[in-house]
Amino acid sequence: MSFMRPEVALAARRWREALIGVAILAFGLWIALAALGILIWLGWLFALAGLGLIAAGVQRGRFRIGHNGPGVVQVDEGQIAYFGPWNGGVVALSEIVEITLDRGYDPLIWRLRQPGRAALEIPATAEGVEALFDAFTALPAFDTRTMLAALHAVDRHPIVIWEKPALRLH
């Protein structure tokens, strides 16, 4: 039996890192303002860590736009795998040449393109899709702000989030 309403529990799970950051920030400020000696600096260190966790948690919370979608996503050893009820596949992170967010579907679809293969389409509400956040940010010149803005845009057309940088020879 849960003492929390389901929508409150869902919001707490979505923003969990930011909420933990707020708790660490509050604990750090309490130590910094109430302690003496070297503990003051430890408190400020905790407060700074809490601020960093809040910033990262807000980004991750904005990335999580739903749950209970079709399929399961796994990211393991540089490969993104999607196992869905109608399709699925595996894409090597190092071989991805384009990431597109297709807003014309409900739920939204992540489309990962790799040369010589069909694009892997992953619903943005699939289980484990939050692992894509870390996988995407590992790509060279990936802009997290562009991704988060596209997730919350109102346009219904596909938006290219990232393209592999061209190889420059000189």
More confident residue, 87 or 49: 49
Residue 67 is encoded by which pair of tokens? Answer: 């749950």
Kindly write down the DSSP assignment for every residue of 15-41, as one continuous string.
THHHHHHHHHHHHHHHHHHH--THHHH
Write b or e for each residue in 157-170: b if 16 or more Cβ atoms lie within 10 A of its Cβ, otherwise e: ebbebbebeeeeee
pLDDT band at 1 (very low <50, low <70, confident <90, very high): low
Residue 107 · residue 66 · CB < 8 Å: yes
Write b or e for each residue in 130-146: b if 16 or more Cβ atoms lie within 10 A of its Cβ, otherwise e: bebbebbeebeeeeeee
How far, in Å, CA of 73 to CA of 81, rounded? Answer: 6
Residue 129 · residue 108 · CB < 8 Å: no
How far, in Å, CA of 109 to CA of 90, rounded? Answer: 16
How far, in Å, CA of 76 to CA of 40, rounded? Answer: 41
| Percent of the chain topping pLDDT 90 | 51
pLDDT band at 73 (very low <50, low <70, confident <90, very high): very high
Q: What would the pLDDT profile of 91-148 be if each residue is shown by its tens digit?
A: 999 999 999 999 888 888 999 999 989 999 999 999 999 899 989 988 998 998 888 8
SS3 of 145, please? Answer: helix
What does pTM read for this prediction?
0.76
